[in-house]
Amino acid sequence: MIRAVLWDVDGTLAETERDGHLRAFNRAFEARGVPWRWSTQYYGELLAVPGGYERLMHDMRSREQAPAGARERAALARELHRLKNEHYAAIVRSGELPLRAGVAELLAECVGAGVRMGIVTTTSRGNVEALLGYHLGRHWAAHFGAVVSAAEAPRKKPDPQAYRVALAALQIAGEECAAIEDAPAGVLASIAAGVPVIVTRSQYFSAAHVPGARARGPSLGSVQGWTPAAACGGDRIGLKQIAAWCA
């Protein structure tokens, strides 16, 4: 049996990128009077750049309307990122970012079975607090032996720092855990930290190449469509199935 489940956040717990962060970025651009907007397709390309602030800086390199000076550009990116995270929290509070299928059930199964849990993300701490506070209540953090965000792990995935920090906090070896991720960068980070990983494909990474993942499939809420097949029975992906894939 595995001793801990390590959860990625964006794309894994909820479809936060298209329905949350992207909308929040565009609202921040509007609020700040910035003349550009990001399309759904373009944001998919920008996701190759890890980190919201870094994404803003990357995008501004090819924007004529962006400030020319490096210092002004960084200041604008910081302000837009802060505004984006405010809008993101408001979107979460409006109830428009539900947990993905099977997530609530697996969270509850871990609690019931005494399998420890960690949050392993490189998104901003406030975004984690907003999403988990909304869905699990204000004592959400009590369910997790480790909560690692950009505050604790500034080196973004695919760097394994976030996973290493979580393993140290849980005082557990990587091979005793299973990570749940949706994107190639997260898969690379978990594998580099020695944590077996399964992939629940999200909107933006539905066809991504994820070599090294123990299993990949459409959702924790379904036993159909997984490679290798989900052979442990039941109508959703549970701990027994995850342990079988990670053994």
Q: Work out how close the CB of 128 gets to ligand XBP at its nearest, in angstroms, rounded to a whole number.
A: 8
Q: Work out how close the CB of 17 gets to ligand XBP at its nearest, in angstroms, rounded to a whole number.
A: 6
Q: Where are the alpha helices (DSSP H) in the chain?
A: 16, 23-32, 40-46, 52-60, 70-93, 103-113, 125-136, 161-170, 184-192, 239-246
Q: Which residue's entry shows tokens 């019931």?
A: 112
Q: Say if residues 115 and 2 touch (Cβ distance below 8 Å).
A: yes
Selecting among 10, 59, 159, 182, the annotated active-site residue is 10
Identity of the residue, 81 or 135, whose beta carbon is nearer to ligand XBP in the bound complex: 81
8 is catalytic: yes
CA atoms of 47 and 117, how far apart (whole Å): 26
- Does residue 52 touch ligand XBP according to CB under 6 A? yes
What does 145-165 look like in DSSP terms, one character per residue?
SEEE-TTT--S-TTSTHHHHH
CA atoms of 65 and 35, how far apart (whole Å): 8
- Does residue 157 touch ligand XBP according to CB under 6 A? yes
Q: Work out how close the CB of 166 gets to ligand XBP at its nearest, in angstroms, rounded to a whole number.
A: 11
CA atoms of 181 and 239, how far apart (whole Å): 15
CA atoms of 173 and 3, how far apart (whole Å): 9
Of 2, 21, 26, 103, the one binding ligand XBP by CB under 6 A: 21
- Does residue 196 touch ligand XBP according to CB under 6 A? no
Within residues 166-195, the interface with ligand XBP by CB under 6 A covers: 183, 186
10 is catalytic: yes
Identity of the residue, 123 or 219, whose beta carbon is nearer to ligand XBP in the bound complex: 123
- Residues belonging to the active site: 8, 10
Query: In the complex, which residues of this chain contact ligand XBP (CB under 6 A)?
Result: 8-10, 17, 21, 50-52, 81, 121-124, 127, 150, 157, 183, 186
